[in-house]
Structure 1
């Protein structure tokens, strides 16, 4: 079996996490990140517009995968069944590297207000992608937005559990479980 090697994008993320942990987010430059990854500044900017975005790589891809999964489900699916299909699609795309650097990513984001703000923006962007995909299926408001918020919360909760080294469950299964738990909690509100 071949040994897994990170690609350039993953190397940049890992280098950024190392440097942010060692010297702080504010003190780290793009040049330092590129050098630590063994790449050039030009290569960095081919992958990311700035150092903040190195930690939020793939948001557009995640939004697209969520929408594709929702669009592919049968017309008879409920809004939450469609969201579950979107979660299946996006969570299946996660790599061992993403799991490995997850705890460090969480620490770096928690330590920096600018990054916490960007994380909230990512949450909103994923919710918008799900909402729009549900609208395309004819799901009206407020059902579409509520289902989207449950989906994003399930995704984020599942990710947190997945990056825990004590966990041995795959991310798609965790996301499904989290969505079911949220569905049960919402039903208990009545």
Structure 2
């Protein structure tokens, strides 16, 4: 066997092995119930329309719940939040009954999801939303119907998630505000 080929194969197998355990060891998502309270709003998550999120940390047996995917992603970006994240799950809108009822057990791993950013849909907390899908084609269809672009988890713009929403911006108008 050619030594160069053997080294290349070994390097490839090691790289694949390095990716496997994280996915294999990730805990399963929790079903959303009426007891799920949003991390930042302190409100019942199930009462808000649009996609939701949950993050499972190594130090806890229960997930941290979020009333929006925007808040879920923000948690991963904020330096003061814990970084011992074992799993990030978001509502799979490809399998959701509707925007008002995104479902309580149709989760997708956020790092594998396709997100539509810049759409005309408003998240559960009245701000812009990163709308998640397990299916890229369904994400593209949603973007065609509601505007926006399809990106992966690591491509969601940081300022789209962390920038405060000013009164009078496009979101305030879409949400029914008069812009003042």
One fold, TM greater than 0.5? no
- Counting helix residues as a fraction of each chain, which structure ranks higher? 1
| TM-score after normalising by structure 1 | 0.24
Structure having the larger proportion of residues in strand: 2
